[in-house]
Chains A and B, each alone.
Chain A
Amino acid sequence: MEGSVPRVEHDEAVRMYALHLLSIGYEVHARIDGWFQAPDYIYGYRPDIVARRGNEWLVVEIMKGDTDWPKISALERIERERADYKVVIASPQDVKMRRWAGANDR
Chain B
Amino acid sequence: MRARIPLTVVAAIAAAATVAACSPAPPSSSGGGGGSSSDTLTIATTTDVVNFNPLIGNSRTDDWITDLMYPRLLTIDANGNKQPYLAKDYGYSNPTTGYYDIRDDMKWSDGQPVTAADVAYTINAILKDKPAGNTTYGQMSNVSGATATSSTRVELHLTRPDSTVIPEVGFWMNVVPQHVFQPHGSVATFPNNSDWVSAGPYKLVSAVKGQSYTLDRVTPYPFAPNNTPTLQKIVYRVYPDINSEILALKNGDVDLIGNSLPPAQVKSLQTSAGIKVQEAPGLGYEHMAFNMTKKPLDNLQVRQALADSVDYNAIRSVVLQGQAVTTGSSPIPPVLKDWVDPSLKEYTYDPTKAKQLLAQAGVSNLKLNLIYSLEDPVSSQAATIIKDDEAKAGITINLEGQERNTYLANTASGNYDIYLGNFAIMDDPTTNMSLTYLPGGAINYSLVNDPALSSLIKQAQSTTDQSTQKQLITQAATTVHNDVYDDVMYMQNLYFAYSDKWTGFTVKPSELLSLLDPQSLANVKKTG
Whether chain B is bound by chain A comes out as: no
Show the binding face of B for A, using Cβ within 8 Å: none
Q: Which residues of A are at the interface with B, using a C-beta cutoff of 8 A?
A: none
